[in-house]
Amino acid sequence: MAPTESDILNQYLLTSASLPSFLTIQELTALFPRSQQSSPQVRTLYRDLQAQRNALIANVEASIENEVKEGRRQRRIAIKQRREAEAQEIDDEVEIERALFGPLPNDRKHNLRTIVPELESAAEDAEVEIRHLEEEEARLLETVRQTVGSLSDLRYSRLSNSKLRDEILEGLKNVEKTCQGKT
């Protein structure tokens, strides 16, 4: 599972943030002159630094928690705005049709009395379109049958133009003469 925002911030800001993780009491004591190293005030200073550091860590933890909450809030707002924008997005084609033809029939609200004629009209339009497509299909099918028939004649050497063979041979001879003349 991918780390969350909270996990990442805690790992990088808090894991090694406590005072003993980067400065031990012995290291702090070694920073003082030898005469002061055994003083109880060094331990008091260390505890004071540790308390300040712990307070800072608590503030950072609170800030991380607030940042995570703010991130969730911003995501909710962004999702809401995106949904609103999608709902309000206007289709360019619909706007062009409205500009050219006026309000579209779909723009008005229908009831049972108004929807039935619209559906009947749409069904009639669909039937007309189907008839046109069937006619086009028949024309294309006939064209394909003629092409297949022509290819079948070619396969079995039954050409509709009986002189075609002689014309092809004549053309090949002309190409051969032309090629010989250039070499």
pLDDT for the residue numbered 15: 80
* Distance of alpha carbon 58 from alpha carbon 54, whole angstroms: 6
**Along the 183 residues of the chain, how does pLDDT read in single tens digits?**
778 888 888 888 888 778 788 888 898 899 889 988 899 999 999 999 999 999 999 999 999 999 999 988 999 999 988 888 776 666 677 677 777 777 665 556 667 787 888 888 889 999 999 999 999 999 999 988 888 877 776 666 666 667 777 888 888 888 888 878 766
* Distance of alpha carbon 7 from alpha carbon 15, whole angstroms: 10
Cα radius of gyration (the chain): 44
- Calculate the alpha carbon distances from 111 to 90, 117, 122 in Å: 24, 11, 16
Sequence letter at residue 70: E
pLDDT for the residue numbered 77: 92
Closest CA to 69 of 5, 142, 154: 5
Contact 18, 57 (CB under 8 A): yes
Token representation of residue 78: 């962004």
Token representation of residue 123: 């069904």
pLDDT for the residue numbered 165: 75
Contact 94, 103 (CB under 8 A): no
Q: Is the dihedral of CA 141, 142, 145, 151 positive or negative?
A: negative
